[in-house]
Amino acid sequence: MALQTMSLSGRKKEVSNKKMTFLERLYLWTIIKGMMITIGHLFTRKVTIKYPEQVRERSKVYRGQHLLKRDEQGRENCTACGLCALSCPAEAITMTASERKPSEKHLYREEKYASVYEINMLRCIFCGLCEEACPKDAIYLTESKVLVPSQYDREDFIFGKDKLVMPLTEAMKNAQLKNAN
């Protein structure tokens, strides 16, 4: 069999060059056929939403802004073990560890704490591996809808402990909630 007449996909069609009849040349039937499809779409379910009024529901595994947690007593969980930085595929996390002084026992849970903890939000891909690696339940990717706000300087995208650590008021609220339950 000649290659020209074979159809490997089974969808090959012969194209003819025959002259159209008068009815066909009016295109009436084809226009009606096309309009049917258009009108049919008016009655299907909409795929878009009216954004500012309606907000689409987020996935259950949505991962937003990072948070360095405090425990119920308001002490920071993070002990600067470096596992988040190790697991980070984007190498966005850096930290410096310090030794806790006896007067700081109410601030940090462990003997060692992170005196500097920085996440470069330009590098972060919000994969959540830091959260998975953390042995101390310290870092969490919250459900916060605010992602990284726009800035003019690159340095402003490096989030330090001032932006990452859970506020004390929230820690207190958590403690009250736990006591209430």
Partner 1 sequence: MKVTIDGQSIDVEPGTTILQAARKIGGESVPPAMCYYSKLKGSGGKCRCCLVEVSKGSDADPRPMPKLVASCVTGCMDGMEVNSTASERVTDARKAVTEFLLINHPLDCPVCDQAGECDLQNLSFKHGKSETRFIEEKRTFEPEDIGPNIQLHMNRCILCYRCVMVADQLTDNRVHGVVDRGDHSNISTCISKAITNEFSGNMIDVCPVGALTDKTFRFKSRVWFNKPYNAHRDCKTPGCCGKTTVWMFGNEIQRVTGRKDEYHEVEDFICNECRFDHKDVKDWVIEGPRKFEKDSVINQNNYTRKLDTVVIETETGILKGREQDRKKISMRHKPLDAQEQTAFKEGNI
Q: Supply φ then ψ for residue 38, to 5 degrees.
A: -60, -50
Of the candidate residues 66, 70, 76, 81, the single one contacting partner 1 (CB under 8 A): 81
Nearer to partner 1, 94 or 142 (CB): 94
Of the candidate residues 99, 143, 156, 170, the single one contacting partner 1 (CB under 8 A): 99
Q: Of 70, 58, 66, 152, which Cα lies nearest the Cα of 109?
A: 70
Minimum CB distance to partner 1, residue 15 (Å) = 46
**Does 127 show up as a binding residue in the annotation?**
yes
- Kindly tell me the burial class for residue 19, based on how many C-beta atoms sit within 10 Å of its own C-beta (0-12, 13-18, 19 or more): exposed
Give residue 27's region: left, alpha or beta (phi > 0; psi -120 to 50): left
153 lines the binding site for partner 1 (CB under 8 A): no
Q: How many residues bind partner 1 (CB under 8 A)?
A: 15
The Cα 39–Cα 35 span in angstroms is 6
112 lines the binding site for partner 1 (CB under 8 A): yes
**Binding to partner 1 in span 121-140, by CB under 8 A:** 135-136
What residue ranges bind partner 1 (CB under 8 A)? Answer: 79-83, 85-86, 97-99, 110-112, 135-136
